[in-house]
Amino acid sequence: MKKLILILLIIITCSLALDAQDSYIKNRWNIKAGFANNYKLDPPSHSLRFREGNWRVEANYGFLKFLETGIYLGYRRLDTYQKVDGVYNAKNVGVPFFGVVLNVHPLTFLIKRPDFRFDLYLLARYGGYYLATPENYLPPKGFYFQYHYGVGLAYYLTKHVGIFSEYSYVNLWRPNWGMRFGVSLKFH
């Protein structure tokens, strides 16, 4: 089933690539710096609540008239826990994360203007993060996989500088929805 879905996506992508006209995505670099506030797990109640935010920088390049791909790097702080005699001890650790980005821009099929200021895109990110957790703390030390699926919208205030917002489904500890805001720079 996964193979069939992958083959269908490749066929659809190739057919869309043939149909797309001149676009403001192809051969464009797009650099983004953004902030998101994630949930954290509260061990005694097992509930989710807001915690420190995370910062991410990504660089994307438009390979097709509607498709860009790139890489991202980020950093956040995270509480780790150790239960001793029914009491939770918390220790805050730094968590670097990184991965690859794939953005599909559907507006390129509807709007043919090269100076269009809005940028709507579907996003997919695959990567991971590394926890340097102290011994006997949870979650355990190691590398963890993460992914994001969502939608983003950017508005360019000038020819090169804009602001963006992304709303995505994230599997950070527990799957949840997250919102990211930031600044976007584009240039050809």
pLDDT digits (tens, 9 = 90+) for 65-99: 899 999 999 998 887 888 788 787 888 889 999 99
Q: Above 60 in pLDDT, residue 143?
A: yes
Answer yes or no: are the C-beta atoms of 164 and 152 closer than 8 Å: yes
| Domains of the chain and CATH, by start | 2-187 (2.40.160.20)
Q: Tell me, what's the pLDDT at 22?
A: 44
Distances (CA, A) of 126 to 62, 81, 100, 122: 18, 26, 5, 14
- pLDDT of 4 > 80? The answer is no
Q: What is the pLDDT of residues 113-125, one digit of tens each?
A: 767 788 999 999 9
The structure tokens listed for 89 are 């001890």
Please tell me the pTM assigned to this model: 0.78
C-alpha span between 67 and 48 (Å, rounded): 35
Pairing assessment for the beta strands 47-62 and 67-84 based on DSSP bridges: antiparallel
Cα–Cα dist 66/12, whole Å: 12
Q: Which one has a higher pLDDT value, 178 or 155?
A: 155
Average pLDDT of the segment spanning 35-50: 61
For residue 109, which of 14, 23, 9 has the smallest C-alpha distance?
A: 23
Strand duo 87-104 + 176-187: pairing: unpaired
